[in-house]
Amino acid sequence: MNDTLTLCLEILFWFALFVVFYTYLGYGILLYILVKLKEFFVKPVRHPLPATDGELPEVTLFITAFNEEEVVDEKMENCLELDYPADKLHIVWVTDGSNDGTNERLQTRWQGKATVHFQPLRQGKTAAMTRGMTLVDTPLVVFTDANTMVNREAIREIVLAFQDPKVGCVAGEKRIAVQTKDGAAPGGEGIYWKYESTLKALDARLYSAVGAAGELFAVRRELFEAMEPDTLLDDFILSLRITMKGYTIAYRTNAYAIESGSADMREEEKRKVRIAAGGLQSIWRLRPLLNPFRYGVLSFQYTSHRVLRWSVTPFLLFALLPLNVAILLSGGPTVFYGVLLGMQLLFYGLGYWGYYLSARQIKNKILFIPYYFLFMNINVLKGIRYLKKKKGNGAWEKAKRSEK
């Protein structure tokens, strides 16, 4: 009986360990191999920009904002510095519910430079996007956040990607401005996004990027689809619904948005819990994408890159420790599983040490990694409660960003 129990526990343990490894490292390794194999046989097709600026398409730079008075001037200066013909770039702000000086600033200092669509009622970012898009008539729309700064070449890079008729959405790269004095929040977030950007670029080279980040992404206007008002990850839902229509998401590393990391781990927790809740919501609303017979490679990418992270993997990660203990107690190989238990305890210990140092504003980049990894997975579990609590509410919940 004991042998059977031990065997069952070992099978569960190794299954859990495989899924955790595959989710965070294995998929990246497999993806890299698949991309190299594909590009060995099929060379990428390059599409040039129109020969003259007069042939470039008109573009709307679309900014949804809620009480962003402090960054309006910096954002507008950034928008006006973009390398794109001024007569073809239309700057639009949708500021629903803003009750600070955002609207006044835009309508005084920046009058004539931007169009402002405002309504007193605050219904949330998704509702603001849907309302604002009914007032846009350019063929391409670039979405960006008020608190992110875009590189000068970004619009041309995005337009270049759209020269491929198969591309329905273009995802820019998100970069975190990490200062030498920064703690675990921006430091961990910066490391996470560097890895995430590498995966996105590989995904796009294999077939399609799996979603876009709201800091900078673009769509063909006719492909925009109104989303449910309580949508938490509007950028993710919108971009993947475009792929469900047969288009792909291109990824442009040379079109990027820079923003500061969260002010501290408490603020980063708000953001991560909301993203995790949005991920769970997205899995349900995008459930047809789980069908590999219908969506093929895209379904494989979506499940491997996103679904596992937001569903079973965090549970399996935290099950490894009790499973390891149970195997030892049931009579499993003491030395082998004892070493594995020791390694797990060491990892959790390093994560706690990272937390301890972070709480005291002591910087240690090495310890940020186990701390931030555990922190992310804990917040996926918290996201379940958040989703139930916030059901039906699509209003913004902004995390405070660190000062530059």
Residue with tokens 């270049």: 160
Question: Are residues 160 and 83 in contact, defined by beta-carbon separation less than 8 angstroms?
Answer: no
The tokens describing 55, both together, are 């042939």
H-run or E-run covering 182: none
As to burial, measured by CB atoms within 10 angstroms (0-12 exposed, 13-18 middle, 19+ buried), residue 166 is: exposed
- d(CA 401, CA 169) in angstroms, rounded, equals 27
Per-residue model confidence as pLDDT tens for the chain (404 residues): 578 999 999 999 999 999 999 999 999 999 999 999 999 999 888 888 888 999 999 999 999 999 999 999 999 999 999 999 999 999 999 999 999 989 999 999 999 999 999 999 998 899 999 999 999 999 999 999 999 999 999 999 999 999 999 999 999 999 887 654 545 455 555 677 788 999 999 999 999 999 999 999 999 999 999 999 999 999 999 999 999 999 999 999 999 999 876 666 777 888 889 999 999 999 999 999 999 999 999 999 999 999 999 999 999 999 999 999 999 999 889 999 999 999 999 999 999 998 888 777 776 677 788 998 999 999 999 998 888 876 655 554 555 555 54
- d(CA 67, CA 97) in angstroms, rounded, equals 8
pLDDT, position 396: 47
Question: Are residues 319 and 346 in contact, defined by beta-carbon separation less than 8 angstroms?
Answer: no
- d(CA 169, CA 209) in angstroms, rounded, equals 9
- The count of other CB atoms within 10 Å of the CB of residue 334 is 11
pLDDT, position 176: 80
- d(CA 239, CA 209) in angstroms, rounded, equals 9
Strand ranges, E, within 124-276: 140-145, 149-150, 167-177, 216-220, 248-260
Our separate counts of H helices and E strands in the chain read 14, 8
Three-point CA angle 21, 253, 311, nearest 5°? 30
pLDDT, position 404: 46
Per DSSP bridges, beta strands 149-150 and 248-260 are antiparallel
Nearest to 242 by CA among 254, 252, 231, 250: 250
